[in-house]
Structure 1
């Protein structure tokens, strides 16, 4: 074995003797990357290592965890050693880390996280702290959209970016819990937000081992950086403190552009449509006519002063109850109706927005709410 490959071989061989590495995603991903990238070196020594890699892949145990968060990650260190000596293979790595993206549901990328309210404005990454995720899910603080772990500085960050840019309701991302040793996923997300990526999609300023994003585009990275503000709580695990931060940030949330723009799903960066008017044209407002029936059905709005809760019942025109939506914020209920496409007609959407605001105001001001006829 040539001196260039011997340290890599020795590290991986040491890892393959450890039970924890045989069941870990770090080893599986590293060996998969080597299988994909070593052929590009076209040398006898690289072919020898490739032969060993194929044998090791067959010797792996069923996957039990994506990452244990070891302070010294053997496969990651081996890969770092190799890419330091052969920078050209960096672009061929992570090829086995592609994930499926769903176009029919949110979040589009599956993972170890829990969705609580997809219309809420705050997302939380608990980094390597699974127990913190469980506690936040149990507490379910208002304003929390999605919470889950982010253990790696590449595919883990890819998922964060992809899931956030596909939900314009999210305006804040809290990083909390234990940082992942070696991978430094929390620091990498902060670096991505502050600095972006270089031409090779490597996160500028990341201290992680392999912070290369392979599953998102430069456009998505730029949208992520513009869309969210990051609240750095790395290292903190106090659930009450985090719930307070979620509450505070949700109050600062603004209506996302994508929900008040033209609504075009193909736009990379949604913008409001504007009309070009010649001169100072004055248009006389007309009295509204009756709203045409929405094919999606009709809604009954029921505010409760006792519970400070707004209940919305969605019916078909055969008077069949389709679903019930509950919430304390008219904004959140409205976004839930729109994002799920339960309202088809724009005039009906405007009517519902007005009525939901009146319903919320009736709770705050303690007056009787009577739903206006459409």
Structure 2
């Protein structure tokens, strides 16, 4: 076996001796890439290494994390050794990492992030700082559209590009938190914005191990770079500083039209124009009454003659199940969906709720259920 293949073999074998590597998406992805690329070389040594790759693949354990965050990430380093010697293999890699795009919803590409306001202008990537996402989501700062981690310099960037260009409301991205060791996803995102990609879709100027984008086009990248600005706050995990920056960027951004479900602002959806009655705005000099909200107990909400709802988050399916009961405890129907908004509007449009107080309560609880799935905490439905 020639020196290059020996090095690759040695590195992968070293990784497969480590329990954390067997459970990591980095190892799984690298082995899949080797399976896709080695046959292209038509060399005896490549065929021999491929046999080892197949054997290692059978020894993998169920994936527990996409990237463990090691300072020296063995699998990508092994891949870099191979593609440095045989550059033609770069275009054949990442074959197992295709992302699924849903043109009828937003975000178009699902992932581990939290959507707060689809029409807001600021997105935040917390890179490898997973807890930072939850902290920001709980604060719900005005102007924040979406927040989530970005651990890889290829698929992670692909998802950001797809989701941003499908929502014209997003005009700024804050890159914060701890950057991923080796992958350098934060620096790669900055390099993409500043430099774009070369003819092989490699991010120009990136220091990441595999900064090759396989799920977006050059046109997508160009649109992304023109649409947004990126604020480099890599290393910052201070929520106060981040909230201040979100507010600052939001105030600098012109108001965009309201975003539709798929992020297209209505360009791909049937729209209905609703004529609203004219509203007479009082002159500034006229004093209008200010009503102080009263404090109401939970018992103040009247029973809805249409029945009541039991909300059941299904975290294993990333799904929300809602059971509709009559007041004699008879199950009337079940409503399923991934979005609290979709479920709420389905219930409203079918007149399955008739009391305004009950409708407001239902919307609040559905939103809490959706957040519990995204952020991994236990959901207990509040009594009306």
Q: TM-score, normalised by structure 1?
A: 0.72
* Alignment-derived partner of residue 111 in structure 1: 111
- 1:297, CA displacement in angstroms? 9.6
Query: Are the aligned partners of 1:298 and 1:316 in contact in 2 as well (CA < 8 Å)?
Result: no
| Secondary structure at 2:4 match in 1 | coil
Q: How many residues align?
A: 292
Query: Are the aligned partners of 2:119 and 2:258 in contact in 1 as well (CA < 8 Å)?
Result: no
CA spacing shift, 1:103–1:299, aligned 2, 3 Å = farther
- 1:139, CA displacement in angstroms? 1.0
Task: Return the alpha-carbon distance in structure 1 between the equivalents of residues 194 and 349 of structure 2.
Answer: 48
Q: TM-score, normalised by structure 2?
A: 0.70
- 1:295, CA displacement in angstroms? 7.6
Is 1:127–2:127 an aligned residue pair?
yes
Alignment of 1:1-374 (within 5 A): 1-256=1-256, 264-265=267-268
Task: Return the alpha-carbon distance in structure 2 between the equivalents of residues 304 and 58 of structure 1.
Answer: 72
RMSD: 3.2
Task: Return the alpha-carbon distance in structure 2 between the equivalents of residues 199 and 20 of structure 1.
Answer: 35
CA spacing shift, 1:57–1:121, aligned 2, 3 Å = same
CA spacing shift, 1:306–1:196, aligned 2, 3 Å = farther
- Show structure 1 runs of 4+ deviating over 3 A: 255-259, 261-266, 294-301, 303-308, 314-324
CA spacing shift, 1:176–1:13, aligned 2, 3 Å = same
| Secondary structure at 1:60 match in 2 | coil
- 1:55, CA displacement in angstroms? 1.0
Task: Return the alpha-carbon distance in structure 1 between the equivalents of residues 289 and 78 of structure 2.
Answer: 61
Task: Return the alpha-carbon distance in structure 2 between the equivalents of residues 18 and 114 of structure 1.
Answer: 32
Task: Return the alpha-carbon distance in structure 1 between the equivalents of residues 291 and 211 of structure 2.
Answer: 51
- 1:108, CA displacement in angstroms? 0.9
1:158-182 residue CA offsets vs partner (Å, 9 max, x unmatched): 0010010001110110000001111
CA spacing shift, 1:299–1:223, aligned 2, 3 Å = farther
Structure 2 unaligned residues grouped into runs of 5+: 280-287, 294-344, 361-384
